[in-house]
Amino acid sequence: MATPDQSDPGLDGPSPPFGLHEAERIVRRLVPALQAHGMWIQSVHTALICRTAPADPDADGEAYLRSSLGRWFACESNEFIRGHPDYVAAAAHHREAYARARELYACEASHQAITPEEYLAFSEAAARLDRNLESLIKEVWDLLRHTDPVTGIATRHAMLPRLREEHERVQRTGLTCSVCMVDLDHFKRINDTWGHDAGDAVLEAVSGYLMRNLRRYDQVFRYGGEEFVLMLPNSCLEQAVPIVDRLRRGVDDLAIGFEDRTLGISASFGIAPLLADQPIGVSIKRADEAMYTAKRAGRNRIATWHPGGAVVHGDDASAPASTPSGS
């Protein structure tokens, strides 16, 4: 069996790296810090051009730590953000901009002429900082646009480019990958009985469980309605079944609190291989067909796609298929 391609950056982290609420928190704190930073840049130019006293001459060299942006750099706790190249570079350029401003203030205080090179060094450090943070904010907003607001996980629009990357990796390396379609059983009954807020609570609980219990390099996407798609790199069908069965049992055991009651749910799973010589859409369609086979077998089952017909796994897998009256 081929060994995992450990050098592939696509395996380095979950998707998305944070949920919707976390992304909103990051943007909510960063935007005013950037506005305050813009005001600081303006104050530097005002002090130099109008020869006024700087608001903070930075005599101790630590004014950048006291600034709003400096506090954001120091306090931001999200690991994805702190490890992002734009964050690392922006933090360095922030320190450099304050150091360059301090040099300009020193020249002004000693009545020395500021050379074009000294002023350009400050301007370029500030410009690099702006570019890094603009790039970082754009990526966060892109993640927000591709994050489902109900569940906080990646959407179908985010799934397709990620599956294309994985499909290319399968073609390039010969490694395996499985795609799994997940559909919640009798979900319509929950909406009809308890309302859509209850349905949202179930979707959020199930997606959160899947996110927490997938392997590090697996990914989960909300496909639409009560359907999810799992991407399981480095897994053939035989390897994917125990992984998915663990998830199936966990979903079935969930006790989902909603108002003054506890809700339960089960799900049906269909698994198909992501084949190098077939379009991605074929694999998704086959996983969907297998999932419906699991539904017909009584729900709360796993089915794997095979050319001769899907094979059902799970409790009472040998039970005769029946036509479901609903999802």
From residue 109, how far is each of 49, 63, 99, 238 by CA, in Å?
13, 18, 15, 74
Structural contact between residues 56 and 41, judged by C-beta atoms closer than 8 angstroms: no
CB count in 10 Å sphere of residue 186? 16
Measured in whole angstroms, how far is the alpha carbon of residue 10 from the centre of its chain? 12
Instruction: Output the DSSP codes for 190-221.
Output: HHHHH-HHHHHHHHHHHHHHHHHHS-TT-EEE
- Please state the length of the chain: 327
| Encoded tokens for 269 | 């799973």
Residues 179 and 299: their CA atoms lie apart, in Å, by 19
From residue 102, how far is each of 44, 132, 200 by CA, in Å?
10, 22, 53
- The H-or-E segment that residue 153 falls in is none
Structural contact between residues 301 and 310, judged by C-beta atoms closer than 8 angstroms: no
Measure CA of the first residue to CA of the last residue in the chain; give whole Å.
Answer: 37
Catalytic residue among 22, 166, 226, 227: 226
Q: Which residues pair with 262 in a beta bridge?
A: 257
Residues 295 and 169: their CA atoms lie apart, in Å, by 32
Query: Annotated catalytic, 24?
Result: no
| Encoded tokens for 18 | 């944070």
Residues 224 and 147: their CA atoms lie apart, in Å, by 12
Residues with catalytic roles? 226
